[in-house]
Amino acid sequence: MTKKLTLERILQSQGFGTRKGCRQLILAGEVAVAGAMEDDPDATFATEGLAFSVGGEEWRYREHVYVALHKPANFECSRKPSHHPGVLTLLPGQFRERDVQPVGRLDHDTTGLLLLSDDGAFIHAQSSPKRHVPKLYVATTQDPVTPALVEKLRAGVQLHDEPAPLAARHARALDEHRIEIVLEQGKYHQVKRMLAATGNHCTALVRTAIGGLTLAALGLKEGEWRYLEADQLALLVPDAPGTPAAPR
């Protein structure tokens, strides 16, 4: 059944402020629906596929938003950042109003693919270690990447406070100082700690894929974001097309 809401409630649900504030926007002639100005806050519309504009900026109604961001360095994945700007400052203000938040975290100095959403069930599912969603990282190392280092990561290394060794699902050298690593566990600072456990040091880190969703396919530059549609969300599963396979 198609959901219908008043225009006032539609704007509120999309993060344009309180009901009172949204009503004032409509009465002030700031809102158009399907290209036509609408000044009745109580007018009802079917929400599915609804196109509207606020202050001349085009929007489409979305019950939930699913976003991919190419996170730059020196941004924190927190709604209350302490030492650096938060990643939410890179998104429209409406997203903060509708409680969009990062799915998991990247360190402030780590760049790459970050998901954000206001869908609690999606956030929980994507963050759950039980799903074993592979995440692909490219690490730059201080010392050369040797075959012995790659084998250690594949076999598993012991980290402090971990009950058992952690192994990379996949690891391969890209060049003398860069290594590609696929992890499923998502432990705190895991890539950096695993490299340290091999006797090396991570000097830069970028996440390039989650499941079969890749930063390259999204075409995002640092600081850019885009909505994820159904076909892209379908790639966020274990063994999705394009997911690096474990070494044979």
Distance separating alpha carbons of residues 238 and 129, to the nearest angstrom: 11
The active-site residue out of 107, 109, 119, 143 is: 107
pLDDT of residue 1: 61
pTM (2 d.p.): 0.89
pLDDT of residue 248: 36
Distance separating alpha carbons of residues 214 and 28, to the nearest angstrom: 43
Could you give the domains of the chain? 4-60 (3.10.290.10), 64-248 (3.30.2350.10)
**Residues 198-212 pLDDT 10s:** 999 999 999 999 999
Catalytic status, residue 107: yes
154 sits in which H/E element: helix 147-155
Strands 57-60 and 51-54 come out as antiparallel
**Residues 74-120 pLDDT 10s:** 999 877 777 888 999 999 999 999 999 999 889 899 999 999 999 99
Average pLDDT, the chain: 91
57 sits in which H/E element: strand 57-60
